Structure formats: structure tokens, C-alpha cells
């Protein structure tokens, strides 16, 4: 596991640094030994390092690798960050967060982003919406490679709402500002999630999403569904949430 990674650091440095330490330890024998014994020691050390590496990275996948898998997706486009703590059994997950302006209503702005996501292979599994100017949220999911999965939340709302939620926006709303801000937050599983899928959304467990997991968004996002003055919250499907910080996993 990665319990020894320390606090608040980038995983790439952690993984490579740990490997270097192990190899360096193996390649620095006490000295004065014969060549054959040294070879055997090196061979055993490499074997031990390989076993430790496989155990520590969960299915042999490092945190950096899962970050690369997320960053390699066609959608969303953005920088991958892997910041977080490993104190107390917690662990960070790779994530991409983007904010963009739109002149459309929240429902139309989200519909555009969902179209891009679906074209890139993501599957919508949950949507929450109400009236024509209300905040709209859609959850999309996909499998990556080597058992890794990803969840993305697409949300659109008036900029004032996002400020209320503590999310900075580039420009103020109002007459000259954007009508809607679209926020995309994509998070991929961490190596720890590959060892234990306790916190992976149900739709992505057991090789999912299976056939029929996707939802029809017309009841939520189509113009005909946007009734004026509607305040009743509506949703379709089941949420798929994967926070940027995972753990602690239950002891086994």
C-alpha cells in the first residue's frame, strides 16, 4: 500500500522515489563479498522489490499511471492533479476540474457537455434538474484500463450560485457576464480502489457499467422538459460519486 508516501505530495515523485530507494538499497552491499554472492543478493533484492512494488501499487498500477489514464482521455481536457494526504489511511485520487462560461441555460449548457462526454465514451447514469434556470447536474462514468474507472460530474448554474458554493469564477455574472458557468469534475480511481472497491460506485463494480446502465436525459434536459416555474426537483438514475479523497478502507 502507499501508507508510507507521506503528506501532500505528487504521486509521480512518490512512486519513482520509492523504487529508487529500494533499488539503491539492493545495489549497495556491505562490500568485500564475492561476485557470485553479490549477484545472488542483487537478484533476490530485485525479486523482493518487484513483490513489494506489486503489493504497494494495487494490481501493479501506480497512482501516476491512473493519473495518466485519466489525462489521456479525449474528454475532459484539463490538467490532472493528484494532491492530497495519506494520513490516517486516506489517499488522493487523480482529478481534472474545469470551469467554462456559457450563454445558454444550465440545461442546454450541460446537454452540450454531455454530448461531448458521450462521444468520448462516457455513459450518463444520473441527472438532477428542475426548472429552466435551475442548477443541473449530470454524472457520467466510464472504465479506463487495467481495472481503473472514472466518474465525472457535469454541473451548470448561475455564476452567483457557484460563488455561494465557494467556487471562484472568472468573471462576475449579471448583464455583461456569463449566464451560466459549467463545472466539470472528473475523478479516477486510485490504486487503493483496485485492491478494494468499497468506495467505487455500484454501477462500476463487477465489470460495470453493464448494458442498459445509461439513462435517457430527454426527461431532464430537453427544452420540452423545462417547464417554467417548476420547483419540484427531479432526478433520473442513481448517483455515481467518487470524491477526490478516498479512504480509509476497512481493515481486512
* Interior/surface letters 11-49, b for 16+ CB within 10 angstroms, e for the rest: beebbeebbeebeeebeeeeeeeeeeeeeeeeeebeeeb
Q: Which of 55, 63, 85 is nearest to 17 (CA)?
A: 63
**Lookup: cell for 229:** 416555474
**Residues binding another protein: what is the number (CB under 8 A)?**
52
Residue 165 as a binder of another protein (CB under 8 A): the answer is yes
Residues 31-90 that bind another protein (CB under 8 A): 87-90
Q: Which of 144, 135, 137, 140 is nearest to 152 (CA)?
A: 140
Residue 237 as a binder of another protein (CB under 8 A): the answer is yes
- Cα gap 247→146, rounded to integer Å: 21
Which one of residues 65, 93, 142, 179 is an interface residue with another protein (CB under 8 A)? 179
For 214, the enclosing helix (H) or strand (E) is none
Residues 138-157 that bind another protein (CB under 8 A): 153, 157
Which one of residues 39, 59, 164, 171 is an interface residue with another protein (CB under 8 A)? 164
- Cα gap 157→20, rounded to integer Å: 47
Query: Nearer Cβ to another protein, position 31 or 207?
Result: 207
**Lookup: cell for 85:** 494526504
Which one of residues 42, 104, 118, 213 is an interface residue with another protein (CB under 8 A)? 104
Query: Nearer Cβ to another protein, position 64 or 246?
Result: 246
- Cα gap 48→35, rounded to integer Å: 20
- Cα gap 28→203, rounded to integer Å: 48
Residue 214 as a binder of another protein (CB under 8 A): the answer is no
Residue 6 as a binder of another protein (CB under 8 A): the answer is no
- Give the chain's end-to-end CA distance (angstroms, integer): 13
- Cα gap 122→115, rounded to integer Å: 9
Lay out the site mask for another protein across 108-127 (x = CB under 8 A, - = otherwise).
------------------x-
Lay out the site mask for another protein across 216-235 (x = CB under 8 A, - = otherwise).
-------xx-xxxx-xxxxx
Residue 188 as a binder of another protein (CB under 8 A): the answer is no
Residue 171 as a binder of another protein (CB under 8 A): the answer is no
- Cα gap 167→78, rounded to integer Å: 17
Contacting residues toward another protein, per CB under 8 A: 87-90, 103-105, 126, 128, 130-135, 137, 153, 157-161, 164-165, 173, 179, 198-199, 201-202, 223-224, 226-229, 231-235, 237-239, 241, 243, 245, 247-251
Amino acid at each position: 500500500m502507499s501508507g508510507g508516501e507521506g503528506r501532500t505530495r505528487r504521486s509521480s515523485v512518490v512512486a519513482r522515489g520509492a523504487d529508487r530507494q529500494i533499488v539503491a538499497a539492493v545495489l549497495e552491499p556491505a562490500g568485500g563479498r564475492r561476485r557470485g554472492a553479490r549477484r545472488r543478493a542483487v537478484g533476490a533484492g530485485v525479486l523482493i522489490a518487484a513483490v513489494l512494488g506489486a503489493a504497494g501499487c494495487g494490481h501493479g498500477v501506480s497512482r501516476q499511471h491512473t493519473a495518466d489514464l485519466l489525462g489521456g482521455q479525449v474528454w475532459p481536457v484539463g490538467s490532472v492533479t493528484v494532491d492530497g494526504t495519506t494520513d490516517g489511511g486516506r489517499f488522493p485520487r487523480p482529478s481534472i476540474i474545469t470551469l467554462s462560461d456559457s450563454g445558454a441555460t444550465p440545461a442546454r449548457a450541460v446537454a452540450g457537455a454531455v454530448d461531448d462526454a458521450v462521444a468520448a465514451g462516457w455513459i450518463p447514469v444520473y441527472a438532477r434538474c428542475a426548472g429552466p434556470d435551475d442548477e443541473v447536474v449530470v454524472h457520467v462514468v466510464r472504465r479506463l484500463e487495467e481495472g481503473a474507472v472514472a466518474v465525472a460530474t457535469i454541473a451548470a448554474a448561475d455564476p452567483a450560485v457557484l460563488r455561494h458554493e465557494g467556487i471562484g469564477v472568472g468573471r462576475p455574472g449579471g448583464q455583461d457576464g456569463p449566464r451560466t458557468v459549467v463545472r466539470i469534475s472528473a475523478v479516477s480511481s486510485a490504486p487503493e480502489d483496485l485492491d478494494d472497491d468499497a468506495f467505487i460506485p455500484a454501477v462500476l463494480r463487477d465489470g460495470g457499467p453493464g448494458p442498459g446502465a445509461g439513462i435517457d436525459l430527454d426527461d431532464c434536459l430537453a427544452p420540452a422538459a423545462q417547464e417554467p416555474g417548476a420547483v419540484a426537483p427531479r432526478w433520473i438514475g442513481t448517483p455515481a460519486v467518487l470524491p477526490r479523497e478516498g479512504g480509509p478502507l476497512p481493515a481486512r
